[in-house]
A and B are shown apart, each in its own frame.
Chain A
Amino acid sequence: MDDHADVFEDVRRGMIPAHIYNDQEIFELEKERLFSRAWMFVAHESEIPQPGDYVVRRVLDDSFIVARDEQGSVHAHFNMCLHRGMQVCRAEMGNASHFRCPYHGWSYRNDGRIVGLPFHQDAYGGEAGFRRKGQRLLPAPRLDSYNGLVFVSMDPEAPALRDYLGDFTFYLDYYTRQSPSGIELRGPQRWRVKANWKIGAENFAGDMYHTPQTHTSVVEIGLFREPKAEKRKDGCTYWAGRGGGTTYKLPPGSLEERLRYVGYPDEMIERMKRSWSAEQLRVVGQDGFMISAASAFPNLSLVHNWPRVADSEAVLPFISLRQWQPVGRDETEVLSWFAVDAEAPEEFKKLSYKAYLMCFGSTGMFEQDDVENWVSLTNTAAGSMARRLRLNSRMGILADDTEVVPALTPEQFAGPGTARTGYGEYNQRAMLNEWADHLAAPARSATATHVGGPVPEPSRDPNTVVNGA
């Protein structure tokens, strides 16, 4: 496998080799160097509120049990029995104090520790043959959370999640901390699309240019009043830390008036005022920008829109989280959650859920529009002609890399990172530059866990760490 240095060089110039959206070698490299390192979203704490609650989530090919133990701590354990490697938990979600392997009956507490090992004495000669004490399901190398969003990383050396996300947390708060209680989720809906995972992540990160074209019919029927072309260029895109997104420009008014304009009731606005920083409030109330779609590198996206939910001018905002889970070079599993402020009035939650389902999720109208494009794009990227094409992803910059429209000043936009109005593909470039940085850096070899048995000589296997020795 070549090192694809020319691909990364093209990407950094904003010229995208079209085949990266359907290429087996690139996908193998993504698995080896990107998904082996980056922090990846697996669940929200509100999905597992009670001791024993669990969800089973994948990180590419690896299945993890994300469970809350009897003491209330959240764990993510590799869903593989230490004995013969059978999947320990085969349900997708539930509540259990223990997980028992269906193959030979080994069982584990919901904090991962082994509890049942049938015929330990007869079969292994007890501890002398198999060190049972201290054995536990293999934990995810790293687990951390932000506003209840639980992430794992396959890299034990990964930076702290907060440092990884960087200033993107400023924007993440708009979606996930509208009150001190944070969000609660419904879902996920889970389905597969025959499209490369990067396309959706890039689209949510910054593609405000597609809205007037792809989603024309949604505007025509009056579901969403915003995506008109001139409206989109008035909003700004921002990139901060390891994420970025799009915004809409709000009509003139106070903070309260602007939040009411997108459909928030006054009691929710009061809680936002207490939950957000002065700068976070200024972006909405003074600068006049309202967050819409966003992506955190590599494959978590968010969306906040405010469609009309009935035959009136009234709009209602909804929040959705989604993960673009790669299945292969040309297939992605989408997990899509509805999110809502836990303290929102019940009637608001109900209508907001309806607004979400009309727009996104497996039946959502925006969803259908988008995926038609992305499947087609992925198909077209598979052949030999795509290898001859470098797509121009330089929107917003001139040939000498100067900007078509200057970045917003701190006086115009109080948020961190860089924000720009006008059409641009700054965020897609930021996303793919991050992608190139990951893929260009060789991966470290992972350490092996030798379950309760003899260990190879250090000279043969310098990376070995022995579990329970």
Chain B
Amino acid sequence: MPVLKADFGACQGYANCVAGAPDAYDIDDDGTVVLLKERIGAEDLPRLQEAARSCPVSALTIEDA
């Protein structure tokens, strides 16, 4: 099952991911990404991959658990 990962130090708060997948990503009050879920279904993978890849500083990845 694919797992969402974030490099919280790299995140610069662009929020492109939030626009792409508001059900999976958010930005907290400090401007850092929050993962709203970790494990995702295969049917969500293409959409979440696109959201993760939209990060301008490559802080988001999706790994195979």
Smallest Cβ distance from A127 to chain B, in angstroms?
Answer: 8
Which stretch from A116-124, A207-215, A303-311, A378-386 is at the chain B interface? A116-124
- Known interface pairs A116-B13, A119-B12, A119-B13; A126-B30 also in contact (CB < 8 Å): yes
| 1/0 contact string of A117-150 vs chain B (CB within 8 Å) | 1111110001100001100000000000000000
Contact with A along B5-23 (1 / 0, CB 8 A): 0000000111110110010
Residues of A with C-beta under 8 A to B22: 97-98
Residue B2 at the chain A interface, CB threshold 8 Å: no
B29–A115 contact, CB under 8 A? no
Main secondary structure of the interface of B (DSSP, over half): loop
* Residue of A107, A116, A117 contacting most chain B CB atoms (<10 Å): A116
Q: Are A116 and B27 in contact (CB under 8 A)?
A: yes
Which A residues touch B26, using CB under 8 A?
A: 115
Q: Which residues of B sit under 8 angstroms from A97, Cβ to Cβ?
A: 18-19, 22
Interface pair A118/B29, CB less than 8 Å apart: no
Tell me the nearest residue of chain A to B31, going by C-beta: A120
Contact (Cβ within 8 A) B14 A107? yes
Q: Is A100 an interface residue (CB 8 A)?
A: yes
Which residues in B have their C-beta under 8 angstroms from that of A126?
30-31
CA distance A169 to B24 in the complex (A): 45
Assess the B14–A116 pair: CB atoms within 8 A.
Answer: yes
A105 at the interface (CB under 8 A from B): yes
- Residue on B nearest A123 in the bound complex, by CB: B12
Provide the residues of chain A in CB contact with B27, threshold 8 Å. Answer: 115-116
> Which interface class (under 10, 10 to 19, 20 to 34, 35 or more) fits A?
10 to 19
For A115, give the chain B residue with the smallest CB separation. B15
A118 touches B18 (CB 8 A): no
Query: Looking at B15, B16, B18, B26, which has the most chain A CB atoms within 10 Å of its CB?
Result: B15
Contact, CB under 8 Å: B56 / A115:
no
Question: B31 to A121, Cβ gap below 8 A?
Answer: yes
Contact assessment for B15 and A98 in the assembled complex, using a CB-CB cutoff below 8 Å: yes
Nearest-CB distance from A120 to chain B (Å)? 4
Verify A117–B13 contact, CB threshold 8 A: yes
What distance in Å separates the Cβ of B35 from its nearest Cβ neighbour in chain A?
Answer: 15
Interface digits, B22-56 against A, CB 8 Å rule (1 contact, 0 not)? 10001101110000000000000000000000001
Given A97-B22, A105-B56, A118-B56, decide whether A132 and B31 contact each other with a Cβ distance below 8 A: yes
Q: Which residue of B lies closest to A107 (CB)?
A: B15
B31: shortest Cβ distance to chain A, in Å?
4
Per the bound structure, the CA–CA distance linking A107 and B31 in Å amounts to 12
B18 interface neighbour in A115, A121, A127, Cβ under 8 Å: A115
CB <8 Å contact, A116 and B29:
no
- Alpha-carbon distance A132/B28, docked complex (angstroms): 11
Contact check, B13 vs A120: say whether CB atoms are below 8 A apart: yes
Nearest-CB residue, chain B, relative to A121: B31
- In chain A, positions 6-37 with a C-beta closer than 8 Å to chain B are none
Question: Does the CB pair B30–A100 fall under 8 Å?
Answer: no
With A126-B30, A132-B31 already in contact, the answer to whether A118 and B19 are too (CB < 8 A) is: no
* A residues neighboring B (CB under 8 Å): 96-98, 100, 105, 107, 115-122, 126-127, 132-133
Give B contacts to A, CB under 8 Å.
Answer: 12-16, 18-19, 22, 26-27, 29-31, 56
A-B contact pairs, 9 of them (CB 8 A): A97-B18, A98-B15, A98-B18, A107-B14, A116-B16, A116-B19, A119-B12, A120-B12, A120-B31
